[in-house]
């Protein structure tokens, strides 16, 4: 291989490998953190999460909006002000509180908290 071609390919490879890191600078990773039902995602694959989210949206068409679901999940807190770990901890607490309060929903054959169901719905909208 010629040196000139090698240098060009190396530079191109370095550029391609750093582009995904540039994406982490925006809020899309935080949106995914809000939309990712932590426990449920350990039990099922992404397709099942999307299906459960679509089923939730069919049963609750009034919530078929990304901003509305984010607002409901975050309780009015500003997404930009929260870190990914804070988001996850806050939503885990909400899931626990939902189960304690009896706020459970049967969606696509799964019994989950209202928070988890909303997270699935948001996930399905983000991944549509």
Helices 114-126 & 84-101 angle (0-180, nearest 10): 140
Q: Which residues pair with 104 in a beta bridge?
A: 113
With a cut of 70, say whether residue 125 has pLDDT above it: yes
Instruction: For residues 124 and 107, give the distance between their C-alpha atoms in angstroms, rounded to a whole number.
Output: 13
Task: Note the pLDDT tens digit of each residue in 13-56.
Answer: 554 444 444 444 444 777 777 888 878 888 889 899 999 999 99
**Token digits for 40?**
């449920």
Q: Is the pTM of this model over 0.85?
A: no
The token pair at 35 is 């939309």
Distance CA 27, CA 30 (A): 5
* Contact call for residues 98 and 114 (beta carbons, < 8 A): yes
Domain ranges for the chain: 27-126
d(C-alpha 105, C-alpha 4), whole Å: 61
Would you give the DSSP letter of residue 60? -
Residue 23 is predicted with a pLDDT of 41
CA 65 – CA 53 distance, rounded (Å): 12
Task: Report percent pLDDT > 90 for the chain.
Answer: 48
């Amino acid at each position: 291989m010629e040196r000139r071609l090698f240098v060009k390919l190396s530079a191109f490879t370095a550029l391609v490998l750093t582009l995904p890191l540039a994406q982490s600078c925006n809020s899309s990773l935080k949106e995914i953190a809000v939309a990712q039902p932590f426990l449920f995602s350990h039990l099922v694959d992404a397709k099942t999460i999307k299906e459960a989210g679509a089923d939730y949206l069919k049963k609750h068409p009034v919530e078929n909006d990304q901003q509305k679901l984010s607002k409901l999940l975050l309780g009015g807190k500003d997404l930009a002000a929260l870190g990914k770990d804070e988001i996850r901890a806050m939503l885990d607490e909400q899931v626990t509180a939902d189960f304690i309060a009896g706020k459970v929903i049967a969606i696509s054959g799964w019994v989950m908290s209202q928070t988890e169901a909303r997270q699935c719905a948001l996930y399905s909208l983000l991944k549509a």
